[in-house]
Amino acid sequence: MSLIVCIYVPNGIALSGDNTTSESQPAKSAQLPSKVVSSDATRKIFHLFDHFGVGVFGEDVNKNLPASHYIDDFRLHNFENPPSSPSTMATSDQRQLKSPPTTIKITCS
């Protein structure tokens, strides 16, 4: 489970999140699956293009690459022509990325 918090105050916006990644372990006999912490140093908050803060959650690894790889690839791909608004960033063409994610989504509200 991820916890990402965004607070708006008159001086600005604070965006914070936890940095723990856990994995499900298969259930033994009739027990429920258990969660095991696999990392306490996972990046989930990213600063993009001097205007946007992005928090990611869900599966951290997709096609053997961490979520941070896809965020960095997005940043490099759009470096010369950065998105102008949150909706433009959220709907940008991910097919142009070298290895587009299938489960990682950028959401803006």
pLDDT of 102 higher than 60: no
DSSP string, 3-17: -EEEEEETTEEEEEE
Separation CA 18–CA 55 (nearest Å): 10
Res. 109 pLDDT band, cuts 50 70 90: very low
Q: What is the mean pLDDT of residues 11-27?
A: 80
Share of the chain above pLDDT 70, in %: 71
* Among candidate residues 42, 63, 43, the one with its CA nearest the CA of residue 53: 43
What's the whole-number average pLDDT of the chain?
A: 75
pLDDT of 22 higher than 80: no
Q: What is the mean pLDDT of residues 60-72?
A: 80
Q: Model pTM?
A: 0.64
Q: What is the mean pLDDT of residues 71-94?
A: 81
Please, where are the H alpha helices in 1-109?
67-77, 86-90
Res. 54 pLDDT band, cuts 50 70 90: confident
Residue type, 58: G
pLDDT of 12 higher than 80: yes
Share of the chain above pLDDT 90, in %: 0
